[in-house]
Amino acid sequence: MINQRSFFFNVDWVTILLFVILITVGWFSIYAAVFSESSTVLIDINTNSGKQLLFIIGAVLVGAVILLLDSKFFYVLSPLFYAITILLLVGVLIVGRNVGGNQAWIPIGSFRLQPSEFAKWATSLLLARYISSVNAKLNNFSNALPAAAILVLPIFLIILQPDAGSALVFLSLIFVLYREGLSPYFLIAGFKMIVLFIFTLLFSKIIVVGACSLITSILIYKFKNKRKLINTFIIGFILSLIFIFSVDFVYNKVLKPHQKSRIELLLGIIKDPRGAGYNVNQSKIAIGSGGLLGRGYLQGTQTKFNFVPEQSTDFIFCNIGEEWGFAGTSFIIGLYLFLILRLIFIAERQRSSFSRIYGYAVACIIFCHFFINIGMTVGLVPVIGIPLPFISYGGSSLISFTILLFILLKLDANRMGII
């Protein structure tokens, strides 16, 4: 067991340095987003930048406390953390405040608690505990079912808010299950559903069904001597038909009007630069106007004059693009990629399967946020409203990401021990 008095020497300081750089970039970007020449006060707690500074101080203190705790604390109490967040997700449906069409926040004085953010690390902990404690082989259905239930419960409650963006982040944890032995057929099936959904929206059902029939026939002919594979292809074809003919119901009865319009904009079905496409259009203009080196700090016109909505939260990346240009955005993307690769490296060097599984969960969640947030600001993915980790404004987001990351750092600092 590692001497606890020397645990600071075992902490991964490279990751902590990345954390510090990102939260610093975030604070300066938020300050630039709310900057007004009529009020140049650097720290004003009545502005988003002032509040974010308080959140940063709180996050750093939370991170320090986590590093002082025993590693076993997170393993032992993971079911309690999960239960508390589930209760909060239920509670937000009853007493939550509706903001932007989502009932996702619980007001606590002037602070708004978003339970879905904290549910990410709590779910990751319980998932890691379950898989590691029973040495579950996830290619076995009876073992995979409890793991799926751990994921599905918070997803279901979050969809009820409705907050499709946060629910989508939880689905990224499927890659953790894949790393631990889940059959790749589940990933293939998921990718196939996405492709069928898009094609059914773009083309007629007859064309999509015909294409599926042709592909299935080719596969059956190629593997005609392998009965088991042929049965799999036939079952897959039948399920594909059911899915294709259910797309209309899901699209028209389940999805909200603003969600449908965002998908249609992304696929080019409609063009509405002054309506549903306004946010993304202005975001692209802001990023494009930055050029190679940007307009300069506090010199962004698109953000300064509020052309871009939510410019300190969901669309903060466009502020970076306008003021720092291609060089600045490349630097930020590079930081995230380095952080994600570092997290995978940390996960792989763990002796404990619990720590390894949790490490992959952290990497998946941060990558999902990073990819979707930046993708939606440049029009590559639909606008679903999730923050850029450590940079976007928000107390729940920053503190929950800090907890998510620092639990892994604590587990890694004690990687030579056994949980």
> pLDDT tens digit string along 173-226?
988 888 877 777 777 777 788 888 888 888 888 888 888 888 888 878 777 777
- For the purposes of burial, counting CB atoms within 10 Å of the CB of 320, is it exposed (0-12), middle (13-18) or buried (19 or more)? buried
Q: What is the mean pLDDT of residues 157-163?
A: 84
Residue range 363-387, pLDDT digits in tens: 999 999 999 999 988 888 887 878 9
3-state secondary structure string, the chain?
A: CCCHHHHHHHCCHHHHHHHHHHHHHHHHHHHHHHCECCECCCCCCCCHHHHHHHHHHHHHHHHHHHHHCCCHHHHHCHHHHHHHHHHHHHHHHHHCEEECCEEEEEEECCEEECHHHHHHHHHHHHHHHHHHHCCCCCCCHHHHHHHHHHHHHHHHHHHCCCCHHHHHHHHCCHHHHHHCCCCHHHHHHHHHHHHHHHHHHHCCHHHHHHHHHHHHHHHHHHCCCCHHHHHHHHHHHHHHHHHHHHHHHHHHHHCCHHHHHHHHHHHCCCCCCCCCCHHHHHHHHHHHHCCCCCCCCCCCHHHHCCCCCCCCCCCHHHHHHHHHHHHHHHHHHHHHHHHHHHHHHHHHCCCCHHHHHHHHHHHHHHHHHHHHHHHHHCCCCCCCCCCCCCCCCCHHHHHHHHHHHHHHHHHHHCCCCCC
Q: Which residues contact 167 (CB under 8 A, 6 or more apart)?
A: 155, 158, 159
Residue 7: pLDDT band with limits 50, 70, 90 = low
Instruction: Please report the pLDDT score of residue 197 as a whole number.
Output: 83
Model's pTM, two decimal places? 0.87
**What are the boundaries of each domain within the chain?**
4-185+268-413, 203-255
pLDDT average, residue stretch 297-324: 80
Q: Which two tokens stand for residue 397?
A: 């987001």
Residue 118 contacts residue 396 (beta carbons within 8 Å): yes
pLDDT value at residue 38: 59
How many Å apart are CA 250 and CA 242, to the nearest integer? 12
Q: Which of 127, 138, 136 is nearest to 357 (CA)?
A: 127
Cβ within 8 Å of residue 383, ≥6 positions away: 262, 279, 280, 314, 376
pLDDT at 183: 74
292 or 109: which leads in pLDDT: 292
Residue 279's closest CA among 314, 320, 230, 236? 314
Task: Enumerate residues 6+ apart whose C-beta is below 8 A from 392.
Answer: 26, 312, 313, 314, 316, 373
From 85-99, 146-160, 268-282, the region with the lowest mean pLDDT? 268-282
Split at pLDDT 50, 70, 90, the class of 46 is confident
The pair of three-digit structure tokens given for residue 109, joined into one six-digit string = 């004085």
